[in-house]
C-alpha cells in the first residue's frame, strides 16, 4: 500500500499473521467468527466478473486512498506525505473543483460521508478529521489507536480498516470502537491487507492492498465482499486487467478506490495514480 514501506511489507507479512497487534485495544471483539478452523468453506465463494460501462478521466497524480460518490460529485482522499488532499471532483471531466490540502505531517487515507459530514482518516498519525461537506471547513478532530487505512459506514457506524484482517465499527460521535469483526479467506487464514472500503447493498466491499502479490492473494485487482455482521467472506470481484495501461507504471499504482451511487445503482472504481476511473457492472460467476 505505501511506497515507503513496500519492501518491508514482505518481511512483515512473513513474520506475523497480523500486521498490527494493537489495532483493537479495549474493543468488543466479535469472537463468533474468530476460530479460523471453523471458517473454512466447503466450496469456494463466488467470483464475479465485470463489464466496463463508462470510462472517465482520473488525475494520474492522485494517490487515491478514499473514494465516494455523493449528489453527483466524486469525493476523493489522496495520500503521500506532502501531497495529501481532500477533493471534490467532476466525474465526467476528472477536474478537481474544490480541494483542501492537509499538513505535510499527515498521510491521508480513507474517506466517507456520514450525516452530511466528511470523515477522513490518516495512516500512521492516528488522527481523523471531520469536515463540512460544502465548505471543507474542518469541524472536529479525533484520535484512535493503530493505523488508518479504509473507511466507510452503515446506518449507525463508521467502518474502518487498519491493514489487518480486522474491521472496526466506530461511533461517529466519539470515534471509539464499539465492536470488531475478523475476516478470513476460504481456507481459514486471515484476509490481510484490507484497504479502501465501500458499503454496497448491505455488504462491505474492500480493496486488498497488492492483491497481485503471491504472499497476499496472487490474484491482481481483487475486491472482497464481506458480511458486516459476521465478517464472513461472501464473494470476490475479479477486476483483473481492468486498466492495463496502469498495471506496470509504478509499484504502488494498485487498484484502490470504490464508490457507489445508491440512487442509480452505479459502481465506480479506480486506482492509485491511475489515468482513468471506471463505471462497472458485475457479471455472474463462472459456472
Q: Looking at the predicted structure, is the pLDDT value of residue 185 above 90?
A: yes
Q: Looking at the predicted structure, is the pLDDT value of residue 25 above 80?
A: no
Tell me the average pLDDT of the chain: 87
Chain CA centroid to CA 33, Å: 21
| pTM of the model as a whole | 0.85
Q: Looking at the predicted structure, is the pLDDT value of residue 45 above 60?
A: yes
**Which grid cell is 192?**
490481510
Strands (E), 80-176: 85-89, 96-101, 108-114, 117-122, 127-132, 138-143, 151-153, 158-161, 166-170
On the 0-12 / 13-18 / 19+ scale of CB atoms within 10 A, 41 is middle
- What would the pLDDT profile of 71-85 be if each residue is shown by its tens digit? 999 999 999 999 999
What pLDDT does 255 receive? Answer: 93
Q: What percentage of the chain exceeds 70 in pLDDT?
A: 83
Terminal-to-terminal C-alpha distance of the chain? 33
Report all structural domains of the chain as residue ranges with CATH numbers, in order of start.
3-20+28-283 (2.40.128.630)
Amino acid at each position: 500500500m505505501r511506497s515507503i514501506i513496500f519492501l518491508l511489507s514482505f518481511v512483515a507479512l512473513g513474520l506475523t499473521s497480523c500486521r498490527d497487534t494493537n489495532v483493537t485495544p479495549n474493543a468488543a471483539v466479535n469472537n463468533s467468527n474468530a476460530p479460523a478452523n471453523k471458517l473454512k468453506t466447503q466450496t469456494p465463494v463466488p467470483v464475479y466478473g465485470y463489464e466496463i460501462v463508462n470510462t472517465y478521466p482520473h488525475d494520474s497524480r492522485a494517490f487515491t486512498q478514499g473514494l465516494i460518490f455523493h449528489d453527483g460529485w466524486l469525493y476523493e482522499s489522496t495520500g503521500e506525505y506532502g501531497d495529501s488532499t481532500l477533493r471534490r471532483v467532476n466525474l465526467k471531466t476528472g477536474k478537481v473543483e474544490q480541494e483542501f490540502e492537509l499538513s505535510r505531517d499527515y498521510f491521508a487515507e480513507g474517506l466517507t460521508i456520514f450525516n452530511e459530514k466528511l470523515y477522513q482518516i490518516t495512516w500512521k498519525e492516528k488522527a481523523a478529521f471531520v469536515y463540512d461537506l460544502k465548505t471543507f471547513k474542518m469541524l472536529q478532530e479525533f484520535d484512535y489507536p493503530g493505523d488508518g487505512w479504509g473507511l466507510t459506514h452503515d446506518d449507525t457506524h463508521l467502518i474502518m480498516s487498519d491493514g489487518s484482517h480486522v474491521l472496526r465499527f466506530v461511533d461517529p460521535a466519539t470515534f471509539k470502537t464499539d465492536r470488531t469483526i475478523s475476516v478470513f479467506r476460504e481456507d481459514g487464514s486471515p484476509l490481510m491487507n484490507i484497504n479502501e472500503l465501500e458499503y454496497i447493498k448491505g455488504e462491505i466491499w474492500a480493496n486488498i492492498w497488492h492483491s497481485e502479490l503471491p504472499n497476499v492473494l496472487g490474484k491482481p485487482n481483487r475486491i472482497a465482499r464481506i458480511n458486516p455482521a459476521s465478517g464472513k467472506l461472501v464473494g470476490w470481484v475479479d477486476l483483473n486487467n481492468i486498466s492495463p495501461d496502469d498495471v506496470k507504471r509504478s509499484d504502488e499504482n494498485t487498484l484502490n478506490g470504490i464508490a457507489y451511487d445508491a440512487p442509480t445503482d452505479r459502481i465506480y472504481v479506480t486506482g492509485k495514480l491511475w489515468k482513468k476511473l471506471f463505471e462497472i457492472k458485475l457479471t455472474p460467476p463462472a459456472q
